[in-house]
Structure 1
Amino acid sequence: MSKVRTMEEMPLSRFHYKMFAYASGSAFLDGYIIGIVAVALSVMHSQLNLSVTMMGLIGTATLAGMFVGGMLGGYLTDLVGRKKMFIIDMLVMAIVSILQFYVNDPMQLVILRFILGIAVGADYPIAGALMTEFAPTKNRGALLGGLNALWYIGYAGSYLAGYCMLSIGDTSWRWMLLSSAVPVIIMLISRLNMPESPRWLASKGREEEANAIVEKIFGEKVIMSAEKETETEEKTSFLDMFRNGYGKLTIFVSVFYAIQVIPTFAIGTYIPEIFSQFGFANGSREYLGSAIINIIYLVGLIPALYFIEKYGRKPTLYWAFLACSISLFALGAISESNAPFVFILALFVIYGSFNTGMGAHTWIYPNELFPTHIRGTAMGFTTGMARIASSISTFLFPAIMASYGLAITMYICGALLFIGFLVTIFMAPETKNMSLTQASSINKPNNIEQDSFVSNKTAN
């Protein structure tokens, strides 16, 4: 009798890379849709007679929509299924992306950007849940964390696309906003062939369908899990995130996630200032420069993914928080001196590289720490909380800069990241090498049953 293996024990295969491609579209589209509007605003402000307030509303509408989308989309993902929501979400995103081309009133664009934000926010918990529920245990951290890279690629890609379309002229902003429909439609068509999550099916009592999918993908000698999530139930409740020991984990993920993204979005305001010393400002070259520096930031993700699997989630998160905090404190200290530009740039690159690696954990922790029946709900909730925090910080950042200056602003951001360091030290659990059932039962070790999750299958 040959040994029966679980999905989580299977080696990386072409199927896993295909699932990564499906899931990575969420982060890519988030970065692209947020980035392209910044370039478009530089052209459309005169075409649509935009006031400063209206420009702010258009710029932050997507982030605000992501708050709603994360909250609602995550819950619906757990309620009706991963695949179904993946398809519906892409369809909405495609329609809204196309409608942007035809707007004639600023408020129309605000509404469309808000709806687009809802769709993008909803896509996060779907992607995270699917990737998590198919990933092998020993590669799960790298696969989930790797999704974060696609945000920077999407963001950089939006600036490159916007830079190339500036030559179209006064209507270039319409083509820029329309351009997001291209990757959306490609992703929509691709996702039509993806499978539903067997874990989600089993959590709804549909074990037969779940087993059939596992067998089709991995073969007869593979089962879903050797453990059983005893908290699994047919009906998902939004409040389950705060019950049965999960409340502390929800607070931890929400806090560290929000702290990570607040400086990420706010400090983006400083990139044009850096490029002015490169000679990139006062023209379209600043958009090309923004793309370049975001690609440089990706360098930090490569070692981060290796260390996450080798040393664990917790140490790689708190050291990243600390490195980012020290970098910003140093930038604050030298902001009024005549420090060499190379030194200033190096500090920003150190900050950005560690921050990129830190962002990998925003995909890993919320997906590993919660069981199948509330995994999407928890990811959606924490994403929503983080995005509303980032939209507020983006709105307030210029006022803080104007009132207190560059040095104090850098100190505030550095202090915030140091708080993240302390939160991680005292609250973060370690989930390295744990099965999903073990990780999601980390506060309740007695709730894991060493039985087959769906059925005991044997192979000759």
Structure 2
Amino acid sequence: MSVTPGGSESSLSQRLDALPFTKKHAKLLTGSGLGWALDAMDVGLISFIIAALTAHWGITAGEAGLIASIGFFGMAIGASLGGLLADRFGRRQVFAITLLVYGAATGASALVGGIAALLVLRFLVGLGLGAELPVASTYVSEFAPARIRGRLIVILEAFWAVGWTAAAIIGYFVVPSSEDGWRWAFALGAIPAVYAFIVRWALPESPRWLAGRGRTGEAERIVADFEASAGSVTVPDPERAEAPAVAAAPAAGAPAVAPVAVVAGSRLAGLWSREFRGRTLSIWVVWFCVNFAYYGAFIWIPSILVDAGFSLVRSFGFTLIITLAQLPGYAVAAWLIEKWGRRPTLSLFLVGSAASAVVFGTVHTEAAIIGAGMALSFFNLGAWGALYAVTPEIYPTSVRATGAGWAAGVGRIASIVAPLLVPVMLAGVGTAFTFAVFAAFFVIAAAATWGLVDRRGESLDDR
């Protein structure tokens, strides 16, 4: 079969899956990825800023944990609401608004004079940040051809490493440069407020969402633009021929079947219907455990190194080196996720994260700390890439952002608890036991992975 731009021989879903990777895909991935990187920069900066405020303001461990946790509390609410809003008003609209909210709040944080004001602004930052990540992964997954969808989402998640590396560079060079270095770091975090307007006007809305809302004309034009960018879609190349065939569907632009849910209440209830309850429980467990272990470890690594006797600048330097190991972790996950599938790749990286956490908690020399930290960074961020790839795929279009958002929201509950518990655990039972707890959470997440569905190479469910 040959499909020409605007042709009606197949559904919008089939036409999107039949496309090669085009310049428009690259623009969409880069545009969404830069927003993702800026998010990571904000989250990463707070770990360096907490260490700096401990030195300059003399804040207690409890206050430091509260600064970290209040942002994650906002993320939990933002992720849950963001998914619902994205299923109601569209992916692109919510994506842009969330960038604006957290970018403005981060910039304003540079002006605070005390803990109370900082806590309020960190909560607002969390609202925007929490909503953006699941919406962005849903957005990109709905454009990506089926045969490379997982790989593109892992690449999207890899922008997190870019942002976290930027945070580490700012943390190393800017935060310790003066007593007000942390203020300049926050000011740099205001960049997303400007970028939000670029996202709003430069990127298209998801045609799958538009078709599901009955706006088939708009959806048709967007898909036709992508087809035009490819020149035309003719006989599939050998790689494309390996993708499983999809069933015949109605005319272009028409949803294949009725949506699972159309209002907020039914969307939430739909996540726990007979069809989806098993995968919802599994994905919530994975998100909760990965968030607890990741944020419990990485938010506190700079402070742990300072407490171990390393200077502020030296501990930040170690953290920067450890962060660089995220990029190869994403690269390997992006390759494996289309070769092995979602569940094997995710569980492998989670088991690797568990082993690395145990080692990191028991080593003491500089070389061993860096090596174990790099392994933890490699496996943990590879796991994040696979997790963001699988989460939107397990739900149909009408509840996809809601499902991804609520999974992220449940995960954020763990990211609230972990920064508060870690200082208590470190003081009470030490670093080795604390990181053993993180390892246990990674193992539980690896087991829960096998309750998910694996849609490698399959078209998304457009109900």
The TM-score with structure 1 as length reference comes to 0.85
State how far apart, in whole Å, the 2-side matches of 1:397 and 1:82 are. 35
How far residue 39 of structure 1 moved from its aligned partner, in angstroms, is: 2.5
Q: Could you give the per-residue CA deviations for residues 131-160 of structure 1, whole angstroms, max 9, x where no partner exists?
A: 011001111101111222222221221121
Kindly state the Cα deviation for residue 396 of structure 1 after the two structures are TM-superposed: 0.4
Structure 1: 5+ residue stretches without partners: 441-447, 449-460
- 1:345-424 aligned at under 5 Å gives the runs 345-424=370-449
* Runs (5+) with no aligned partner, structure 2: 4-8, 234-250
After the TM superposition, which residues 103-252 of structure 1 pair with which residues of structure 2 at under 5 Å, given as runs? 103-166=112-175, 169-219=178-228, 228-236=256-264, 237-252=267-282
Letter in 1 for 2:110: F
Q: CA deviation at 1:380?
A: 0.9
CA drift of 1:413 comes to 2.1
Compare 27-36 and 323-332 and name the one that shifted more.
323-332
Match of 2:241 in 1: none
- Which amino acid is 1:369 matched to? I
Q: CA deviation at 1:118?
A: 0.3
> 2:322 pairs with 293, 300, 311, which one?
293
What is the deviation of 1:209?
Answer: 1.8
> Which stretch shifts more, 393-402 or 283-292?
283-292
C-alpha distance in structure 1 between counterparts of 2:319 and 2:357, whole Å: 19
Q: Which amino acid aligns with 1:59?
A: A
How many Å separate the matches in 2 of 1:274 and 1:103?
27
Q: Deviations over 1:217-263 (max 9, x none)?
A: 32497786898243345434322211241121111111112222222
Is the 1:22–1:127 Cα contact (8 Å) retained in structure 2? Answer: no
Q: What is the aligned partner in structure 2 of residue 259 from structure 1? A: 289
Q: How many Å apart are 1:284 and its aligned residue?
A: 2.0
Q: Which residue of 2 aligns with 1:429?
A: 453
SS at structure 2 position matched to 1:370: coil
> What is the rounded CA distance, in whole Å, between the counterparts of 2:303 and 2:63 in structure 1?
21
> Cα gap change, 1:131/1:29 in structure 2, threshold over 3 Å: closer, same or farther?
same
1:457 aligns to what? Answer: none
Corresponding residue number in structure 1 for 2:239 = none
Work out the CA distance in 1 between the residues paired with 2:181 and 2:369.
Answer: 34
Bigger Cα displacement from structure 2, 25-34 vs 140-149? 25-34
Q: CA RMSD in A?
A: 2.8
Mapped to 1, the partners of 2:137 and 2:18 lie a distance apart of: 19
Letter in 2 for 1:267: A
What is the alpha-carbon distance in structure 2 between the residues aligned to residue 276 and residue 44 of structure 1? 14
Change in 2 beyond 3 A, CA 1:276/1:404: closer
Q: 2:80 touches 2:405 (CA, 8 Å); kept in 1? A: yes
**CA 1:224–1:164: 2 relative to 1, 3 Å:** farther
Q: Deviations over 1:83-141 (max 9, x none)?
A: 22122222223332332233233211111110110001111122112101100111110
Q: Aligned to 2:110, what secondary structure does the other structure show?
A: helix
**In 1, distance between residues paired with 2:56 and 2:449?**
47
Q: Distance in 1 between matches of 2:285 and 2:51?
A: 33
Count of residue pairs brought into register by the alignment: 432
Q: How high is the TM-score relative to the length of structure 2?
A: 0.85
Aligned partners of 2:219 and 2:253 also within 8 Å: no
Match of residue 29, structure 2, among 3, 9, 20? 20
Bigger mean CA deviation after superposition, 411-420 or 264-273: 264-273
- In 1, the alpha carbon distance for the partners of 2:418 and 2:50 equals 19
Identical columns (%): 27
Quote the Cα distance in structure 1 between the aligned partners of 2:374 and 2:204. Answer: 39
CA apart distance, 1:187: 4.5
Specify the alignment match of 1:63 in structure 2. 72
Alpha-carbon distance in structure 1 between the residues aligned to 2:307 and 2:109? 31
Cα distance between partner residues in 1 of 2:263 and 2:272: 16
Matching residue's letter, 1:435: S
